[in-house]
Structure 1
């Protein structure tokens, strides 16, 4: 905690994804939250379908005077407040990443409700969506209970945080809020992303450094906080008929290319994966059938998502328990472990489950977050 109406339904967004193709050799390797439900009010089904076509937002004014999409478990009043947060951010020319951070913060502080002074249940004199304290200079009680005023004050402090767009959401939010529970914001990031997408036609998939709502490309970081780990194209896919136990995708790249963290998080694994004979032999190129990921890293992200990066050419550049920012270089492409040539084996795991039971196809996962893997836009 820190020291009513409608959203005008925008025109249906046009999917901006461009399918890129590339001839790439088949590479051999091995890889070592509650559901968010989006519902629409009557008459908006077409907009929902268009949003699912992976648009990256539409440049129309956000209003709060009518029907609005709902994102469970939040109701109309909360979604109205979220729309105000987005509208103020857009008016202030804060990039969409800021909208996600602001909404996630308000989810933690008030459940997106515009709370009055709660008397004996109040934490000091905290009030409003962001639980801002009049005694700490945030404004008068009436001002901090005005959603537009409270949003503006939040953004004014957020944009003064150094490198705020690349920092973990919980770090950026804490620099503004000074909460007694600084790690609590992170768990709201996935649903905050869904809310921004629902209210804007997919703006959480837009590049994080502009208000133009253009789709991410290359090393851009989406407003969702995600980015592609390397620029190469996907070759071997997830659990194909030929390779049913392939728990990720292979992305082609030359040896030594930078591998970047796909999102901010905490390193949970950074070491050499033993081969099939139990040997730690990651400092040499591997071969098919050798077994193991070679040098690899696992990173835990918001929402209990884990990403895995295998076959690095040498020891990773990050250590266990280190906090990393989105896009931070964590290692170099190589061919260690069970590999037939230089590439990145990239996995995504849900529910904090690092086993094959938690693995999900990285292609749709990354695309939905505005960070499509090359060749699969």
Structure 2
């Protein structure tokens, strides 16, 4: 819905995945020097499938979406729905808005209408209203389920008009490009269930990429859309950014370190570590060393094991990122909501570390164990935030 009146349609309620209530103490992690062991933290569940698409998209920031041509195939949506998404993107392009706005708009329409032009026939009495489905929420109409104050019945059922009205309100939100998608969408829609938008961000990014030539991988730098350059606090349209500058040294599960479930990014001690995407902090603490001691304020090698000072964050889509070997206690606390690019700590050498660096992991399906870990290099590249020095 989109009005200052809150609505309570059950179709919009968020299905919150059950996270483990207790985050128990970790066993030692032998992660960043030679013999590696599994990081056995409390499991959050989920399967171990890897949805990362190995086929890299061509990133073309100036690609114009075609609203009349053939639509790509997505199992989640049909041709008519994707054509509506294409119209939403085209309006954003015509308004010269950056791709991040397109992702927010498409994700919002996914939640509000399933990308269908919905109408409630009771709104206009006996007048026949053309639509792609029957709406369920009072006088809300169209892709964004806009209420009467947004325009006439005919206007709200025009996808281009509805998209333009959404964008006009979005750009009036302070700092909208840096806000989590859920927050930005909620400032426009005023939904009774604001957290529902987040679950659509990943698929909305993929749809924008498919319809607009990899646009979700771009970042705005000096007024230009630049491909694959999200770092240093700059956020790609996908909502992701590289956690620190620097090149990848030790890689993911290499032949000599098959249990190395992340990558090591070299950086000077004190380098700011940024959240790779908006999310909620699950863990922020000292990981015990291999003797069970909490001694993260001393550099690790050769006397320590474990992750040192570290943070785990949960992101939309069930992704978890992990940041190890911080120099001191993290800047964030469990339960805290953090924006993409926000500083969460500084590079150090605590835990099982032979020198200052960030050990960075990505996990799927809310699974914080080694079973859920995937290679961060292709994962981050596909989101327009490649790790420097990575092939």
TM-score category by the smaller chain? 0.7 to 0.9
**Alignment CA distance shift 1:158-1:305 (3 Å):** same
Shift of 1:340: 0.4
Shift of 1:168: 1.0
The residue that corresponds to 2:322 in the other structure is 308
Shift of 1:291: 1.4
My pick for the range that moved more, 281-290 or 137-146, is: 281-290
The 5-angstrom pairing of residues 319-358 of structure 1 reads 319-358=333-372
* 1:97 and 1:222 in contact (8 A); partners too: yes
The 5-angstrom pairing of residues 106-185 of structure 1 reads 106-117=109-120, 119=122, 122-134=136-148, 137-185=149-197
Q: Which runs of 4+ in 1 moved over 4 A?
A: 33-38, 118-121, 208-212
Shift of 1:37: 10
- Mapped partners of 1:58, 1:161: distance in 2: 24
CA displacement 1:2-40 (0-9 Å, x = unmatched): 11xxxxxxxxxxxxxxxxxxxxxx9628673888699xx
* 1:260 and 1:327 in contact (8 A); partners too: yes
Shift of 1:159: 0.9
TM-score, normalised with respect to structure 1: 0.86
- Mapped partners of 1:289, 1:352: distance in 2: 32
> Secondary structure, in 3 states, of the residue corresponding to 2:299?
coil
My pick for the range that moved more, 116-125 or 352-361, is: 116-125
RMSD across aligned positions (CA): 2.2
* 1:36 and 1:72 in contact (8 A); partners too: no
Shift of 1:167: 1.2
Matched, 1:293 2:307: yes
1:193 to 184, 189, 205: 205
The residue that corresponds to 1:102 in the other structure is 105
TM-score, normalised with respect to structure 2: 0.83
1:246 to 260, 268, 271: 260
Shift of 1:118: 5.1
CA displacement 1:64-123 (0-9 Å, x = unmatched): 222121222111000000000000001111110110010000000000001111549631
> Secondary structure, in 3 states, of the residue corresponding to 2:283?
strand
1:28 to 30, 33, 38: 33
> Secondary structure, in 3 states, of the residue corresponding to 2:197?
helix
**Alignment CA distance shift 1:289-1:304 (3 Å):** farther
- Mapped partners of 2:168, 2:61: distance in 1: 24
My pick for the range that moved more, 170-179 or 69-78, is: 69-78
- Mapped partners of 2:113, 2:278: distance in 1: 24
Q: What is the aligned residue count?
A: 341
- Mapped partners of 1:95, 1:210: distance in 2: 12
